[in-house]
Structure 1
Amino acid sequence: MADTKNYAYEPVCTGNGALIHGTHRMEQGQLWRQYLIAAVASIAVASTGYSMGWTSPVNSKLNNTSESPLPEPITPNEAAWIGSLVTVGAIFGPFLGGYAASKIGRRWGLLSSTLPLFAGWAMVLLAKSVGLLYAARVAWGLGVGMIFTISPMYCAEIATDEARGALGSFLQLFITFGFLLVYGIGPFISYSAIAYIGIIFVAAFAAAFYFMPETPTYLLTINDREGAAKSLACIRGKSIQGVEAELSIIADGVAAAQAKTASIADVFRGANFKAFYISCALVFFQQFSGINAVLFYMTDIFKAAGSSMDPAISTIIIGIVQMIASGITPMVADRLGRRMLLLVSSCGTAIGLALLGTYFLLAAQQSPLAGSLGFLPVASLVLFIVTYCWGLGPLPWAVMSELLPVEVKAAASPLATAFCWVLGFLITRYFSTISIALGTHFAFWLFGVFCIGSFFFTLLVVPETKGKSFSEIQDILAGRPTKPEKV
């Protein structure tokens, strides 16, 4: 009889995490499975990028009565509220997401996030007044907040230690795809066509993700070890016997977390608080890099700068650059490490913003140099976007999912995510006000100062989490000697 000790049946996922046995193969696992599952989960993130970037091509349509569903053009104040209200909804979405993730699971929690997204697109199609557009943006924000809370959690819980950085970077990669799609087609299709594509986008995610497994971590929290074993075998591409050692480590971590029965107060104690304030600081620097102001008002920025390039084309170029740059991060996050990428990102964004602010100052002073530097807004934004996508964009979410221990994650993640979107609201709502009062150049220089602050915070405070298990990371935060786990 042939020796079969190194062989196992190849597991294939079904919608409920069950297994279908097929042909024999080596018990080595299939790394591509966790990437595929995380990619399907991240389609939801892409749909949020599409809805968040909606303002860039649509603002001009809302000022043209022949293209707008509204009876009259919107005012600058109304445009500012339309741009910023998605962040208001996103403030409350994390709490819905955190509750859903803990009560009905990561999988069903992500699927439930489609409800406010669908509602928002329906209101956009039915809008006859600016008030309904406000409501649509708030609904989208609820979905965004839910997805930004659950998606990093889901990806972190299905990933191996070696792939966790790459999967954590999927959020930035996929959200930029959503931005690029709306930037690329929005200026050239009708207002209603943009909405129909948004609906198709959300529906595609729901249909595909329905067949993905629940995370083993969540199944263990509800004492379904058999289901957790099937889920992990499905994700790893191994037999149930082949994942037993890894499952035992996950189960020990879940059991220890449940034994602690952490409350919100525990978030602010010891190593938990260190993880929490580092997470909040990173999302603070992410938002105060000015990214949302740049993305929401990109077309307007090019118009205000007087660039010789068509604003719609400039926006598409930036979207393509953003997509390409975001695709690099998953490939290097687990090689170069989180700290190195954050340091490079902070430097690059600061330089890009300094150059952008300088151009706007020259333009405001009607300097002859501004006319010969029409390329500078695009070049500066390319530098800003590329370096942002390497670090400040994806890594705060990836690091947050790594630093926060399981027992406080359900309480701490929504708080940190809501904090992020409070900052996002303040920036998107008052960016234009500050630009008018103090000059656009001042606003960009101010963002650049915060990027410099991000560099020094990362250098002095943020720990490296590359290749480390969750228990090793907690040892680092607590100042204990680390004991690597072997599977």
Structure 2
Amino acid sequence: MSISRNWREYVAALSATLITAAAGTTVGWTSPTLPILLAPDSPIQTTADQSSWIVSLMILCSAVSPIPASYLADRIGTKKTLLLAAVPYIIGWILVMLAGNVPTIYVSRLISGLGYGIAYTTAPMYLGEIASDECRGAMATLITVMSKFGILSQYCIGPYVSMLALASFNITIPILFVVTFTTMPESPYYFLKSGQPDQAERSLKRLRGKGYVREELDSMTHLVNENMKENGNWKDLITVGGNKKGLIILMGIYFTQQFCGSTAIISYAQQIFGAADGGMGAEESCILLGSVQLMTSAISSQLVDRLGRKPLLLISSCGVALANIIIGAYFFMKHESDEYIVSVRFIPIVVIPIFIFSYTIGLATVPFAITSEIFPTHIKSKATCVIQISVALMTFAVTKLYQVVADSLGNYTAFWCFGGLSVAGVVFILVMLPETKGQSFAAIQEKLYRSEREVVYEKRDDHNGAAVRINI
């Protein structure tokens, strides 16, 4: 992979993923903001239950927008659909600036959730369709790199400024996205699906520059024509074997991604570090956490097309499982007696960043690469829609239930549950996931859909007696 050769694709990808940086700000915002809202001198008096709703409502509402986002991506293109995602973010931050009570914050989080669902439904589709085969994985991981940048910005700025100042900073990111992304090309796949081959060629030339070759457009055209022979119905996701297999694989990976506890740790980071009493200030610990996230996601973007998807996911799942078990043991000892903790107070400061490193190197980044490449053109938007709705519901369950479980059964119970589910994820990935590193869309689909597309039999040639393989 050569960034110098593919710089045009990377510019488009960086501009597109500014919207996931905006998504990152909405996730990370709660970490420095909840301690302010829950403090005795809070500008907006907030209860613990209300704080859990502030965290989870945004994710819950993100389950609403993937269906319209999927429809719009097919009708008006992934570029215009992504641009629409900026509108809810801008409105959401304006409401935070004006907020004088908790219900206003609820409404801002609900509206921001609409943008979150659109962004994470459409961004993997756009990046997967503009990228060359050799850098598709790295470009898809930019979704996570930019998201982690957004989260880190909240950890670095949030504890030291007012809610108004933080919201003022956050609103600039979706505005910058709109300004830059309007100049970027639409996906050539969209133009081919829409019967505009000339526009598709112009788009591909803008993305490839001097590296443009006519053969790539011909390959895209052939693949789209083959895919579009079938109308992608929702029921095809479960009745067509290859679609069903791809859906099961991604559901299992995203289940592991969410139920390893990642979103709970990110959203409640400052409170978790405060409860852990690990010897470093909660604010500084969060900055360390966010820095590890950002650096690791950048490393993952370089490894995903070199080491492959499956090895990174296995390393990641094993790491988060072990870290969860250790963190759970620490909280258990702290629950039993603070005397046991004096000599091991360093554990949260060491192990939680290890958790974040393990999570970000694979589970946080690689699923987006697989999502962008595993489904045929005619069904991709619907599959991505179903996956994003499922992920939103899983994330909501984790963010809402974590606080409930931690308050009633202890932090250690929550972390041990996360650890057990992470171990199950290791087994699933090991058994179910095929490797897709460096393969074209056509090769990946051939691997998953062979049984539906091909009937192979042998026929004896009457002239020379040779066996002839006939593909139907």
TM superposition score category, shorter chain reference = over 0.9
Which amino acid is 1:94 matched to? P
Structure 1 partner of 2:436: 465
Counterpart Cα distance in 1 of 2:226 and 2:349: 51
Structure 1 partner of 2:225: 255
Which amino acid is 1:104 matched to? I
Q: Which of 183, 194, 216 is residue 188 of structure 2 equivalent to?
A: 216
Matched, 1:134 2:109: no
Moved more, 77-86 or 122-131: 122-131
1:66 Cα offset (Å)? 5.2
1:238 Cα offset (Å)? 2.7
1:152-167 paired onto structure 2 within 5 Å:
152-167=124-139
Q: Deviations over 1:410-436 (max 9, x none)?
A: 211111110001010011111111112
Native 8 Å contact 2:316 2:361 kept in 1? yes
Counterpart Cα distance in 1 of 2:450 and 2:134: 23
Counterpart Cα distance in 1 of 2:225 and 2:339: 68
Counterpart Cα distance in 2 of 1:481 and 1:116: 41
1:482 Cα offset (Å)? 12
1:72-471 paired onto structure 2 within 5 Å:
72-238=44-210, 242-268=212-238, 269-471=240-442
Structure 2 partner of 1:59: 34
Native 8 Å contact 2:38 2:48 kept in 1? no
1:141 Cα offset (Å)? 1.1
Q: Unpaired runs of 5+ in structure 2?
A: 455-472
Counterpart Cα distance in 2 of 1:329 and 1:420: 21
1:1-12 paired onto structure 2 within 5 Å:
none
Counterpart Cα distance in 2 of 1:313 and 1:224: 53
Counterpart Cα distance in 2 of 1:149 and 1:437: 35
1:55 Cα offset (Å)? 0.5
Moved more, 288-297 or 471-480: 471-480
Counterpart Cα distance in 2 of 1:114 and 1:478: 36
Q: Deviations over 1:315-355 (max 9, x none)?
A: 00100011111110111101100000000001111111111
Q: Deviations over 1:452-483 (max 9, x none)?
A: 11111111110000011111111211346999
Give secondary structure in 1 for the equivalent of 2:333: helix
Give secondary structure in 1 for the equivalent of 2:5: coil
1:100 Cα offset (Å)? 2.0
Q: Deviations over 1:275-306 (max 9, x none)?
A: 11111111111110111110110011011112
Which amino acid is 2:82 matched to? L
Which amino acid is 1:144 matched to? Y
Native 8 Å contact 1:475 1:481 kept in 2? no
Structure 2 partner of 1:41: 16
Identity %: 34
Counterpart Cα distance in 1 of 2:39 and 2:411: 25
TM-score, reference length from structure 2: 0.93
Count of residues in correspondence between the two structures = 451
1:67 Cα offset (Å)? 5.6
Q: Over aligned residues, Cα RMSD in angstroms?
A: 1.8
Counterpart Cα distance in 2 of 1:262 and 1:255: 13
Counterpart Cα distance in 2 of 1:334 and 1:314: 31
1:398 Cα offset (Å)? 1.4
1:14-33 paired onto structure 2 within 5 Å:
30-33=5-8
Counterpart Cα distance in 1 of 2:131 and 2:253: 22
Matched, 1:50 2:21: no
Counterpart Cα distance in 1 of 2:80 and 2:382: 19
Native 8 Å contact 1:67 1:190 kept in 2? no
Which amino acid is 2:24 matched to? G
TM-score, reference length from structure 1: 0.90
Q: Unpaired runs of 5+ in structure 1?
A: 1-27
Counterpart Cα distance in 2 of 1:327 and 1:480: 37
Counterpart Cα distance in 1 of 2:349 and 2:117: 30
Q: Deviations over 1:225-283 (max 9, x none)?
A: 111101100100138xx432111111111111211012001111211111111111111
Q: 1:300 to 1:227 in 2, by over 3 A?
A: same
Give secondary structure in 2 for the equivalent of 1:144: helix
Native 8 Å contact 1:29 1:236 kept in 2? no
Native 8 Å contact 1:161 1:467 kept in 2? yes
1:64 Cα offset (Å)? 4.1
